[in-house]
Amino acid sequence: MESLDLRVLGDALAWRRAGHAVTLVTVVETWGSAPRPAGALLAVRGDGAVSGSVSGGCVEDDLIARVKAGERHGAPSMIAYGVSKEEAARFGLPCGGTLRLVQEPLGDTAWVEELLARTAAHELVARTLTLATGAVTLAPASRDERMQFDGIKLTTLFGPKWRLLLIGAGQLSQAVAQMGQMLDFEVLVCDPREEYAGSLGLTGAAHLPGMPDDVVRELRPDAHTAIVALTHDPKLDDMALLEALRSDAFYVGALGSARNQATRKKRLAEHFELTETELARLHGPVGLRIGAKTPAEIAVSIVAQIIERKNEVSKTAQPAAGCAVA
Mean pLDDT of 234-257: 93
- What confidence score (pLDDT) does residue 22 get? 95
> Does one domain contain both 172 and 74?
no
**Residue 77: in which H helix or E strand, if any?**
strand 77-81
pTM over 0.85: no
Mean pLDDT of 14-35: 86
Final residue before a domain boundary, out of 93, 121, 149: 121
> Does one domain contain both 216 and 265?
yes
Domains held by the chain: number: 2
> Does one domain contain both 112 and 181?
no
> Does one domain contain both 172 and 35?
no
Final residue before a domain boundary, out of 121, 150, 178: 121
Does residue 318 lie within any of the structural domains?
no
Does residue 219 lie within any of the structural domains?
yes
pLDDT higher at 265 or 204? 265
CA dihedral 26, 114, 22, 147 (to 10 degrees): 0
Mean pLDDT of 282-305: 95
Q: 35 pLDDT band (50/70/90 cuts)?
A: low
Which CATH number belongs to the domain containing residue 242 in this structure? 3.40.50.720
> Does one domain contain both 184 and 112?
no
- What confidence score (pLDDT) does residue 313 get? 66
> Does one domain contain both 168 and 99?
no
Task: Determine the Cα–Cα distance for residues 243 and 157; give it in Å rounded to an integer.
Answer: 30
- Does the structure show a pLDDT above 70 at 85? no
Does residue 187 lie within any of the structural domains?
yes
**Residue 306: in which H helix or E strand, if any?**
helix 295-315
Does residue 230 lie within any of the structural domains?
yes
Domain that holds residue 81: 4-121
